[in-house]
Amino acid sequence: MTEAVSSISCSICLDLLKDPVTIPCGHSYCMGCIKDCLDQEDDKGIYSCPQCRQTFIPRPVLNRNTMFSELVENLKKTRLQAAPPDHYYAGPGDVGCDFCTGRKLKAVKSCLVCLASFCETHLQPHCDLPVFKKHKLVKASKQLQEKICSHHDKLLEVYCRTDQQCICLLCTMDEHKGHDTVSAAAERTEKQRQFGEKYLESQKRIGERKKKIQELRQAVDTLKHSAQTAVEDSERIFTELICYIEKRRSELKELIRAQEKAEVSRAQGLLKKLEQEVAELRRRDVELKQLSHTEDHIHFLQSFQSLCVSPGSQVTVYPHISFEHVKKSVSELKDQIQDVCKKEQDRISGEESGGGAEERTERGEEERGKHKERNRR
């Protein structure tokens, strides 16, 4: 199919022949394409074939080639019936053929002389025709313009080591004259050697970093496991400690209430006896006042002796009861627990170094001094 297409393609427009004509040397072209070429040679009076360069005098008469016209029409019908699969067409990330009309096929090569990209069909003239033999074909690329010198519109094929940039041959005779220049291929060889060294160095560094990453991951896993164990153990121990403190709190509360009840009962008994004694003393006081006013001397003398004898009191003075010692003991226990927790928190947080440790030592001495002062009080 490719050879058939090439044989009935115009070597000027690189597309299927349109209104094909054949000139005396036997080559065929589109009527419009060859007419434009011959028109440009009217001033010289000598006409030539664009392919084989055979000359003609006078200007050849252009007659329609009926056979080629029928072949082109048949080929167009065949191509419509057997269109290329979708993957042959250029997608968003592909390089499209610059000479395909309508939906463009994928380009397979780019020409640095024509500054165009070609699919397999439109590339055929570059492979078959002598006029294209010196054209430089490269892998299909979208960045063709980047390979052309912006000053001279020539192919970049020289490297200037002085300015470290790609230049064309004309640049070596212009602004880069006298510079250290080499061919792009030679510089590529040197850079390739440097690349190999850099690549090996990079691979070595990657290996070292991978080793460090593995070590760090293992350290993180160990840290996570240790932290999880510490959290679980701390939760268990604190739960046990809280239960123990709750139990002792309840027991202490019961002891305080029991002692309170016993002492209140005792105090109420003493209070009752004291109130009875006060009532008895008031009764005697009334009788003494009444006796002091009697005019019966015999009655006074007989009653005075018995009224002057005070009733024997067995009630002792109730001592001062206080639970301050309980409050003090519980407060000291709280301070001790806080001191222990603070010390352990500082140790775990890693602040036991440098000036921070000295500062915490001073705070610890200050707290212990306050604790001793509370104990003395």
Give the CATH number for residue 4.
Answer: 3.30.40.10
| Count: domains in the chain | 1
222 assigned to some structural domain: no
180 assigned to some structural domain: no
Domain that holds residue 11: 1-83
pLDDT greater than 60 at residue 354: no
pTM of the model: 0.38
168 assigned to some structural domain: no
Lowest mean pLDDT among 57-61, 192-196, 321-325: 321-325
Banded model confidence at residue 80, pLDDT cuts 50, 70, 90: very low
127 assigned to some structural domain: no
Burial of 34 (0-12, 13-18, 19+ CB in 10 A): buried
358, amino acid identity: E
220 assigned to some structural domain: no
Quick one: pLDDT at residue 352? 43
DSSP 326: H
369 assigned to some structural domain: no
b/e string for 108-142 if b means 16 or more Cβ within 10 A? bbbbbebebbbbbbbbbbbeeeeebeeeebeebee
- Nearest CA to 99 out of 14, 16, 31, 18 is that of 14
280 assigned to some structural domain: no
Quick one: pLDDT at residue 224? 93
In terms of average pLDDT, the best of 143-152, 173-182, 281-290 is 173-182
pLDDT greater than 60 at residue 83: no
Quick one: pLDDT at residue 99? 83
Helix, coil or strand: residue 49: coil
129, HSE (Cβ side, Cα atoms, 13 Å): 21
**Partners of 96 in the β-ladder:** 106
349 assigned to some structural domain: no
